[in-house]
C-alpha cells in the first residue's frame, strides 16, 4: 500500500543496489519490530541550515502535490510522469525505471511508454513506428522478437479478460527526458493485430489501441 511504498523509498529498498553511492545514507532504518530515523539523518537535523532546507522541501512537495496531483496519489490525465513515478503510484516493490522498456505487464497493470519522434541513429531492432491514427486511436508495436503466438502477445490480446489495464504515456522526442504525458487508459481493438518485421528482420506484432478518452486538442497537436 501507499505507506509501505513510502517506507521503502525512505529506507532505499525501493531502489536498485548502489543508490547509497548517489544519495548517501537512507533517511530511515527499519526491521520487523521498529522504524527509526537513521543516525546520519538524525545528526543532520542538528544543523540549522539543513533544517531550513528540509522544511522548504516539505512545503514545496505539499504545494506540488496539491497543484499537480490535486492532493491525490494517482494518475492525472495530461500530467507528466516518469517510469519511476508509475512504480511509486502503483506501489511496486521496486523502481521500474530500468525494466519498463517500452512497456511491462506487472500484476494487473500494463504501462506503455512511447517516444513519438525517435532519433534516426537508434538501432534497427528498436525503430518502432508507433503513431496516432486519430485522437483516440493509436497504432502500437510490441517489443521485437515477438510473434502472434508469443505468450506475452497472447496476454496482451486478452488483457480485458485477464483484468489487465493499459496506461498510455507519450513524449514527443527523446530530448524530453524521463517524463511522458499521461493520456489515459486504452484497450486493444480486436482484429487489428498483425505480425510484421522490423528493419533488421526480427519479428514484431502491431495492433491498434483505442484510448478511452480522446486526446485533448493542444496535447495532440504538440505530440504529432
Per-residue pLDDT of the chain (224 residues; tens, 9 = 90+): 889 999 999 999 999 888 888 889 999 999 989 999 999 999 999 999 999 999 999 999 999 989 888 877 789 999 999 999 999 999 999 999 988 989 999 989 999 999 998 756 555 555 678 999 999 999 999 999 999 999 999 999 999 999 999 999 999 998 889 999 999 999 999 999 999 998 889 999 999 999 999 999 999 999 99
Q: 83 and 96 in contact (C-beta within 8 Å)? A: yes
Q: Is the pTM of this model over 0.85?
A: yes
Backbone φ/ψ region at 166: left (φ over 0), alpha (ψ -120 to 50), beta: beta
The vertex-123 CA angle with 118 and 134, nearest 5°, equals: 35
- Write down all domains in the chain, each with its CATH number in brackets: 2-69 (no CATH), 80-223 (2.30.280.10)
What pLDDT does 123 receive? Answer: 56
pLDDT digits (tens, 9 = 90+) for 112-155: 999 998 756 555 555 678 999 999 999 999 999 999 999 999 99
Pairing relationship of beta strands 180-188 and 28-30 according to DSSP bridges: unpaired
Distances in whole angstroms, Cα of residue 113 to Cα of each of 11, 63, 64, 80, 203: 28, 27, 23, 12, 20
Long-range contacts of 99-107 (CB under 8 A, 24+ apart): 101/143, 102/128, 102/143, 103/142, 103/143, 105/152, 105/155, 105/156, 105/164
Name the grid cell of 186.
486504452
Rounded distance between C-alpha atoms, residue 212 and residue 201, angstroms: 33
Q: Cell numbers 525494466 label which residue?
A: 99
Amino acid at each position: 500500500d501507499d505507506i509501505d511504498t513510502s517506507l521503502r523509498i525512505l529506507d532505499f529498498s525501493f531502489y536498485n543496489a548502489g543508490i547509497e553511492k548517489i544519495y548517501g545514507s537512507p533517511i530511515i532504518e527499519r526491521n520487523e519490530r521498529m522504524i527509526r530515523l537513521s543516525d546520519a539523518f538524525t545528526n543532520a537535523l542538528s544543523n540549522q541550515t539543513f533544517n531550513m532546507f528540509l522544511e522548504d522541501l516539505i512545503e514545496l512537495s505539499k504545494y506540488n502535490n496539491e497543484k499537480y496531483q490535486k492532493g491525490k496519489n494517482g494518475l492525472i490525465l495530461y500530467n507528466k510522469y516518469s517510469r519511476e513515478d508509475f512504480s511509486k503510484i502503483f506501489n511496486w516493490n521496486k523502481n521500474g525505471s530500468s525494466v519498463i522498456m517500452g512497456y511491462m505487464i506487472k500484476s494487473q497493470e500494463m504501462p506503455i511508454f512511447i517516444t513519438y519522434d525517435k532519433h534516426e541513429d537508434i538501432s534497427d531492432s528498436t525503430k518502432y513506428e508507433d503513431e496516432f491514427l486519430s485522437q483516440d486511436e493509436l497504432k502500437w508495436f510490441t517489443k521485437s522478437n515477438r510473434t502472434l503466438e508469443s505468450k506475452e502477445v497472447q496476454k496482451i490480446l486478452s488483457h480485458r479478460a485477464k483484468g489487465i489495464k493499459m496506461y498510455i504515456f507519450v513524449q514527443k522526442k527523446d530530448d524530453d527526458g524521463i517524463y511522458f504525458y499521461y493520456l489515459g487508459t486504452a484497450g486493444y481493438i480486436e482484429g487489428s493485430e498483425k505480425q510484421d518485421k522490423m528493419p533488421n528482420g526480427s519479428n514484431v506484432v502491431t495492433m491498434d489501441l483505442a484510448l478511452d478518452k480522446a486526446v485533448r486538442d493542444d496535447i495532440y497537436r504538440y505530440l504529432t
